[in-house]
Amino acid sequence: MRPIRLLPDPILRATCAPVTGDPTALAREMLDAMYAAPGRGLAGPQIGESLRIFVMDASWKDGLPDPRVFVNPEIVAREGRQVNDEACLSIPDTTRRVARAATVTLAFDGPSGRREERFAGFAAACIQHEMDHLDGVLILDHDPAP
């Protein structure tokens, strides 16, 4: 299993390139690393791949596994506001109160082509957190929300 990269590893600050090949094996490795960590999301750079891919399972810690893979994701709409205490597998023992959109619409590549899906609440916050990783942004870069 690949180790999770920790700050100050420079790959965590890089803007990731689009995925062009078959991401199946990488996605499996990422899910394995995420669950072992144990986390709810993991982006490519966190395991040393500067590619626009992240995995997420926002509900597995509540007993409802739902592993998801997002390839070449793009947030196409944001609505509302929520504030959460966020942690990051790449910055152990650190949390930051972060304001994010309450709902997002995400476009991404799937097995049957490009698609869009809407997410709300914790899943929306997790998506925005992982999207930040794809652009070299960490929770420490956000001003602490009240």
- C-alpha distances (whole Å) from 23 to each of 11, 62, 91 are 19, 27, 26
For residue 60, which amino acid is it? W
Q: How far apart are CA 63 and CA 82, in angstroms?
A: 24
* Buried/exposed code over 18-41 (b: 16+ C-beta within 10 A; e: otherwise): ebeeebeebbebbbebbbeeebbb
- End-to-end CA separation in angstroms for the chain: 38
Asked if 126 and 97 count as a contact pair (C-beta separation under 8 A), the reply is no
> Catalytic residue numbers?
130
In sequence order, what E strands does 7-52 have? 41-43
